[in-house]
Amino acid sequence: MEKEETTRELLLPNWQGSGSHGLTIAQRDDGVFVQEVTQNSPAARTGVVKEGDQIVGATIYFDNLQSGEVTQLLNTMGHHTVGLKLHRKGDRSPEPGQTWTREVFSSCSSEVVLNTPQPSA
């Protein structure tokens, strides 16, 4: 039986580049991949990221950024696919690091869940 592929999200606070968290990444014809995970690094201690994992996206939380930094980040996105996670005062959206589930949204909600957890095989 073929193993089902899953997409996982890893929260790495205080990001200062892949090296600061113990990741070496490499560009290949078919995408960007984790080439190496340094032993005892923050990434290794999570047990989530493994060598050979493809990096398909990144979530950047704006809670500690200045408006100029946010503007600069959004302006550098170019013509790439961007998903915005929006919070409205009083809504029940999960905080950074929490999982998005369909129960978060009311039946009359117009929000779209872009990435839901996949069941483990």
- Select from 63, 26, 19 the least CA-distant residue to 41: 19
72 CA to centre of own chain: 19
Q: Is residue 64 part of a domain?
A: yes
The pair phi, psi for residue 5, each rounded to 5°, is -80, 140
Range of the structural domain that residue 47 is part of: 18-77
Our count of domains for the chain comes to: 1
Q: Is residue 42 part of a domain?
A: yes
pTM of the predicted model over 0.75: no
> Where residue 41 sits, what CATH number does that domain have?
2.30.42.10
Residues 15-35: pLDDT tens digits?
787 778 889 999 999 999 999
53-62, 85-94, 98-107: range with lowest mean pLDDT = 98-107
